[in-house]
Chain A
Amino acid sequence: MFFRILGNKNLREKGEDLINQHGKKVQIAGAKLYDAVEALSKQEWEKVKSLSKEIDKLEQDADEIKDELAEEIFAKGSYLPHDTELRHNLISRTDKVINQIDLTAEKMVLKQYTKKEIPKILTDMAKRSWECTDLLQDAIKFLWTDYREARKVVRELEEARSEAKDLYYSFLETCFAADTVSGDLLYLKEVAASLLDVIIFAERVGDYIKALTFKFA
């Protein structure tokens, strides 16, 4: 009887599993975004479009997981109210990361990039954003099992964000140094800004996870 009063253990476990699944979708989307930028640098336009579609599908899957969590787990009172609230906040913040990845991928196919090469800085930023989604997935996993490890991973995330910011600024310098503003330049600047936002959103989730490790200690 008390299990029903204080929440159902099976539903709680399912909830944890769904949150981890959501984190995994974010991580896969991050990897695919890096692949898309790589494909762009190799002028593999069809691959860029196909990866963009895959990322969109991952974003939809993540939304379904989020809805399932809300309807099947949170709405059934599986957790105490503030435990539900922290999970809801965590999933909402993580969802913003995959939304931003999807947005970046959509922007990439808005215009066919015509130049033969893209600056290496951009692929470096895409790699950082993939690493950040990877680290984010680990941080979420460690939140349940080991605060110290979770904080360690969040520190790595912060460092990755700092590196990405430096890369972005040096890319901006390149843009500002250009004599003329072309559509291609605007395109690359927009993709770079979007990639930085992916990393910033991932870092915000990391900050939230870090705060939780102190609050619930």
Chain B
Amino acid sequence: MTDILLLAVAIITGFIVAFAIGSNDESMAPAVGSGVFSLRIALGLGAGFAVFGALTLGRGVSEKVGKDLVNVELTLAMVLAIISAMAIWLILVSVGAGIPISTTQCIVGSVMGVSLLEVFLNPDLGINLIDTIHYPTLFEILLGWLISPVIGFIFAALFYAAIMRIRGHGKVNSLMAYERQERIAGYLLAVFLLVTVISRGGNDVANAVAPLLRISEFRYDDFITLSIRIEGFSDIIIPGFAIPLLLGGIGMATGLIIVGKKVITNLGSEVVTLTPFSALAGSMSVSIVLFFGTAMGLPLSGSHILVAALIAVGWAGKSPVKMDGVKKIGISWIITVPISALLGMIIYIPMKILIPV
């Protein structure tokens, strides 16, 4: 494959993957569900801050794309198959059901599927099929998936109780006072969510543009000179790494605006009826649990924590939990790994032919 063709494939794949990640971004669901933001404003802010996060934080994020999970060296063809499988499943779930799923689960499934197929097709690797997976890492990831909802549930219930205590639940003496508190909760929620969207933009963009960052022109230490000459001005010089990050950011923003609204609306209304207080408790638990979980090296899933947190605030606030919505989400989580694995295998075959090395 020629360099230019490889570059085109990497750019298109990067954009599609970023689009898929954006389409399944549920971060703004609590704000829309509680009515703090209208859907249009949530999408606009989510898109803008995702691009900002990608550009400002994307450079520092070192995404492994499930590298430690398998005992196989991932080739470019494998990485492209993995992220393509992830993108397809994310878009299918977002468009079809509007359910938030874990990007990590998609990656884990497709990494295992692609790696197992590679070991099966390539006996020269000298790896036994059973030894393809690094089981301690798999166990660690599985543990993360199991504890994520539990931690999210506990923390959200605790935060909800704390918020209700701080605001003097049952002691508010007028609708005006109640609505004033609601607005304060709304502002805090907005701040929490925007910080979450920025950090998510920075984290997720690496998944999308990982293959692009392998291309020499886009390495961190290279600069690209744009040949737009304006009288009296020097050439515009931009760092090479900014191009894939910007591409990823725009891709995520586009996915969020075009498809993401379904996921946001569904999660914001299909699990529990949210108020600014319960939405704040849910969002706080996601941000804080993810922050400390990541610092402690725990592989937690933001989507799992958020869904569990919303169930928790519904339960703590005596608001009925819509079990049909919860069941749908649970089923999609269970089938994500095997389907991603299967998709990864299917896509890897043509990729291996097109990109032999």
Contacts and interface: CB of A to CB of B under 8 A. Distances in A.
Interface of A: 2, 5-7, 77, 79-83, 143-148, 212, 216-217
B187 A216 contact: no
B171 A144 contact: no
Nearest to B40: A77
A137 B275 CA distance: 28
Contacts of B176: 144-145
Contacts of A77: 38
Interface string B283-319: 0000000000000000000000000000000000000
A111 to B, nearest CB: 44
Nearest to B273: A82
Contacts of B276: 80
23 contacts: A5-B38, A5-B190, A6-B187, A79-B179, A80-B34, A80-B35, A80-B36, A80-B186, A80-B276, A81-B35, A143-B174, A143-B175, A144-B174, A146-B174, A147-B172, A148-B173, A216-B172, A216-B175, A216-B178, A217-B170, A217-B171, A217-B172, A217-B178
A11 to B, nearest CB: 13
A49 B172 CA distance: 47
Nearest to A215: B178
Nearest to B276: A80
Nearest to A7: B183
Given A80-B34, A80-B179, 13 more contacts: A5-B38, A5-B41, A5-B190, A6-B36, A6-B183, A6-B186, A6-B190, A80-B276, A83-B182, A143-B174, A144-B175, A216-B175, A217-B171
Contacts of A2: 187, 190
B174 A147 contact: yes
Interface residues of B, number: 23
B333 interface: no
A212 B179 CA distance: 12
A87 B38 CA distance: 19
Contacts of A217: 169-173, 178
Contacts of A79: 179
Contacts of B190: 2, 5-6
A135 B190 CA distance: 40
Interface string B184-195: 001100100000
Contact of A82 (B186, B187, B275): B275
Given A81-B35, A217-B169, A217-B170, A212 B175 contact: yes
B218 interface: no
A206 to B, nearest CB: 15
A32 to B, nearest CB: 29
A82 B35 CA distance: 8
A147 B173 contact: yes
Interface in B5-49: 34-38, 41
A16 to B, nearest CB: 8
Contacts of B182: 80, 83
A216 B276 CA distance: 13
A80 B31 CA distance: 11
Nearest to B176: A144
Contacts of B275: 82
Given A144-B174, A216-B172, A83 B187 contact: no
A212 B174 CA distance: 10
